[in-house]
Amino acid sequence: MPRRMKAEAAVRGQRSAVSAAKTIHSSQLVIQISLYFILQSMKVTATVIPDVKIITPDVFGDMRGYFMETHNQAAMKAAGIDVCFCQDNESCSGKGVLRGLHFQRPPYEQAKLVRVVRGAVWDVAVDLRKESPTFSHYVAVLLSGENKQQLFIPRGFAHGFLVLEDETIFSYKCDNFYAPHADAGIRWDDPQVNVAWPKQDVPFILSEKDRLLPFLSDAKFN
């Protein structure tokens, strides 16, 4: 090949390489920008048990009301919460109602993403992972229609909540379907866990099923 043709081929190759590099850089930039805006849709904060996380969504309000994303799979994954939810549940309860502390036995454990649509609850997650350094410890947070925060509870935890206001609507996502034969729980007043439930001017209202739940020392996890 003549020297001139070789030179021209080399120049074309360099231009192709530069063009490819620019394309890759542009693609990476688009991904970075997309990830930035995804992460801006919510703030994720670790609790005293790091695997349990408080999620604070970005709320846009004006004279019409407000708008927010209540769940974004990409944002959750980017924040290190790689969970695929398959079932949504909702309850409405009066002040003083206490639900819990519930969990499902293996292989039907559930991770949950819980929030309050209206009203307020004292939400509790108890670590039941036998090998965990925080076994029997718990996280408690105030969730309300006003603060719009959510709590992510991974598999291996018992969950429950005390309703603080009448007509409270509680909503949550699960990453595993309800399995009645694996349904289990521990008592709300277990002395080992020793949850500090808020005092109210009304008595606690529990279902008969929750009243008969075993203490942690007697609970069956398998």
The residue segments making up the domain with residue 25 are 1-39
Residue 4 pLDDT:
58
3 vs 80, higher pLDDT? 80
Same domain, 2 and 95: no
- Position 35 scores a pLDDT of 43
Confidence of residue 21 (pLDDT cuts 50, 70, 90): very low
58, 34: one domain: no
Number of domains in the chain: 2
Q: State how far the alpha carbon of 43 is from the alpha carbons of 17, 39, 76, 144, in Å.
A: 40, 7, 10, 17
Segment 174-186 mean pLDDT: 97
pLDDT tens-place string over residues 206-216: 999 999 999 99
Judge if 24 and 126 occupy the same domain: no
Q: Are 136 and 126 in contact (CB under 8 A)?
A: yes
Query: For 73-81, what is the mean pLDDT?
Result: 90
Does 47 lie in the same domain as 28? Answer: no
- Residues annotated as catalytic are 102, 172
Give the pLDDT band (50/70/90) at residue 42.
confident
Same domain, 174 and 154: yes
Average pLDDT value over all residues in the chain: 88
CATH code at position 116: 2.60.120.10
Determine the pLDDT at residue 52: 98
